[in-house]
């Protein structure tokens, strides 16, 4: 017989449930940053400024010039499962945004102090609001929780302060501020090289341009030089040069692939790869499938597929995405890269011979 006596089952307290659920989405400052960056991009921001204090543990602030949030929507902003991006089940198959679950700000509000200043183009003033556990909360004890009018530019500023202040130390998976900062840097670098199509091409803009991203940290010296500042030309190639350096940019090759007559649906892929000439310390891999990214240095590709062929609903952080004909598409992308690499190798041989 078991030496353990059965214990009564009881329902966990609501606040505990929420905190546990939040911890599954937000393990560290870099996870929060990813969500906030995606929200800014979903809001059409073309300029995003990020500030991290103590590796984001003390403060993570994102200033965007996107659509802003209407005053009337502020009460639901940090409520779980509240979103402006999805209404019906069928909307899931034509998603053009990173977000749709309405879980990110809610999760952050359960594990950090969340402060928002936002202004739409129509509003004559900005609104300031604070959130705790999914709800509007007073910024100072004894004051009202209602949003307050204030001065501000068009767009949204979100500040996440003292993340995990309410999680017992032993349960935090965090490393040092410098380690957390390295992860923040990694996230910013990924989004600094987003492939085209993720941002709507704005009127008067001939082609897609990358968002301008600026990252500052006050972790080390409080110096004012940005750790990441994307090029104003905003092309993928110049962004790769800025992030990975001129040696990588010099060896950069571009491959393209698209659906053929035998394919059941349209797709296009764009791959950036480094020629064999460049010896990466650790070979890595980056693949963009619609809104999802996997990172690498030696290889970087973007796949444009009809959103209805992508199943993003696999994992809350979208670390896993499935798409139809995954194997066939991957094979074609790989083939197109082979061709580009072979051509590159051949032109090199000619160069050496002459």
Can you give the binding site for ligand ADP, defined by CB under 6 A?
35, 39-40, 43, 64, 66-67, 69, 77, 83-85, 99-106, 156
Q: Which of residues 18, 31, 39, 302 is near Mg ion by CB under 5 A? A: 39
Q: Cβ closer to Mg ion: 39 or 46? A: 39
Of 79, 83, 138, 81, whose CA–CA distance to 109 is shortest?
Answer: 79
| CA triple 139-115-91, angle to 5 deg | 130
Q: Cβ closer to ligand ADP: 242 or 290? A: 290
Per the listing, tokens 């390295």 go with 182
Q: Cβ closer to ligand ADP: 23 or 66? A: 66
Per the listing, tokens 């890595």 go with 284
Q: Which does 130 bind (CB under 5 to 8 A by kind): Mg ion, ligand ADP, none?
A: none
Cβ 258 to ligand ADP, closest distance in Å?
Answer: 30
Cβ 64 to ligand ADP, closest distance in Å?
Answer: 5
Q: Cβ closer to ligand ADP: 84 or 330? A: 84
Q: Which does 102 bind (CB under 5 to 8 A by kind): ligand ADP, Mg ion, none?
A: ligand ADP
Listing DSSP states for 161-200 in one string gives ESTTTTS-GGG-----HHHHHHHHHHHHHHHHTPPTTSSP
144-152 long-range contacts, CB within 8 A, separation 24+: 147/71, 147/74, 149/125, 150/117, 150/125, 150/126, 151/125, 151/126, 152/117, 152/118, 152/119, 152/125, 152/126, 152/128
Q: Residues 261, 287, 32, 50: is their CA dihedral positive or negative?
A: negative
In the beta sheet, which residues pair with residue 41? none
Q: Which does 55 bind (CB under 5 to 8 A by kind): ligand ADP, Mg ion, none?
A: none
66 near Mg ion, judged by CB under 5 A: no
Residue nearest to Mg ion (CB): 99
User: Cβ of 276: how many Cβ atoms within 10 Å?
Assistant: 13
Q: Cβ closer to Mg ion: 39 or 216? A: 39
Cβ 110 to ligand ADP, closest distance in Å?
Answer: 12
Q: Is 192 left (phi over 0), alpha (psi -120 to 50) or beta?
A: alpha
Residues 192 and 230 sit within 8 Å (Cβ to Cβ): yes
Helix (H) or strand (E) holding 32: helix 29-42
Q: Which does 156 bind (CB under 5 to 8 A by kind): ligand ADP, Mg ion, none?
A: ligand ADP
Q: Residues 162, 146, 128, 202: is their CA dihedral positive or negative?
A: positive
Q: Cβ closer to ligand ADP: 57 or 312? A: 312
Positions 90 through 109 that interact with Mg ion (CB under 5 A): 99, 104
The two tokens of residue 58 are 């003390």
Q: Cβ closer to Mg ion: 298 or 312? A: 312
Q: Which does 101 bind (CB under 5 to 8 A by kind): Mg ion, ligand ADP, none?
A: ligand ADP
Q: Cβ closer to ligand ADP: 40 or 269? A: 40
Q: Which does 219 bind (CB under 5 to 8 A by kind): ligand ADP, Mg ion, none?
A: none
Q: Which does 270 bind (CB under 5 to 8 A by kind): Mg ion, ligand ADP, none?
A: none
Cβ 118 to Mg ion, closest distance in Å?
Answer: 14
Contacts with 196 (C-beta within 8 Å, 6 or more apart), sequence order: 207, 208, 236, 270, 302
Residue nearest to ligand ADP (CB): 99
Cβ 118 to ligand ADP, closest distance in Å?
Answer: 7
Cβ 130 to ligand ADP, closest distance in Å?
Answer: 15
Residues that bind Mg ion (CB under 5 A): 39, 99, 104
């Amino acid at each position: 017989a078991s030496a353990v006596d059965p214990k009564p089952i009881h329902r966990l307290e609501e606040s505990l449930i929420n905190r546990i659920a939040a911890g599954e989405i937000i393990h560290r400052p870099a996870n929060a940053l990813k969500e906030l960056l995606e929200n800014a991009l979903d809001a059409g921001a073309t300029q995003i400024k990020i500030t991290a204090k103590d590796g984001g543990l003390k403060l993570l602030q994102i200033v965007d010039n996107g659509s802003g949030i209407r005053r009337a929507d502020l009460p639901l902003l940090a409520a779980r499962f509240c979103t402006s991006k999805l209404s019906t089940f069928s909307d899931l198959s034509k998603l053009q945004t990173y977000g749709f679950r309405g879980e990110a700000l809610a999760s952050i509000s359960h594990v950090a102090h969340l402060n928002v200043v936002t202004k739409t183009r129509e509003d004559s003033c900005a609104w300031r609001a604070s959130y705790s556990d999914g709800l509007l909360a007073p910024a100072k004890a004894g004051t009202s929780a209602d949003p307050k009018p204030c001065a501000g530019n068009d767009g949204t500023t979100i500040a996440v302060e003292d993340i995990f202040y309410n999680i017992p130390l032993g349960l935090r998976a965090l490393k040092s501020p410098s380690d957390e900062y390295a992860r923040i840097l990694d996230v910013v670098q990924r989004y600094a090289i987003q492939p085209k199509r993720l941002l709507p091409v704005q009127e008067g803009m001939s082609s897609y341009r990358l968002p301008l991203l600026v990252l500052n940290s006050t972790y080390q010296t409080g110096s004012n030089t940005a750790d990441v500042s994307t090029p104003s030309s905003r092309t993928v190639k110049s962004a790769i040069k800025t992030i990975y350096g001129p040696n990588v940019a010099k060896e950069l090759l571009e491959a393209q692939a698209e659906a053929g007559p035998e394919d059941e649906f349209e797709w296009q892929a764009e791959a950036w790869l480094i020629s064999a000439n460049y010896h990466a310390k650790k070979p890595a891999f980056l693949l963009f499938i619609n809104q999802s990214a996997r990172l690498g240095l030696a290889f970087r590709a973007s796949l444009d597929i009809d959103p209805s062929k992508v199943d993003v609903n696999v994992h809350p952080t979208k670390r896993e995405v499935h798409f139809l004909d995954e194997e066939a598409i991957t094979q074609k992308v790989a083939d197109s890269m082979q061709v580009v690499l072979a051509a590159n190798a051949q032109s090199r041989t000619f160069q050496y011979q002459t």
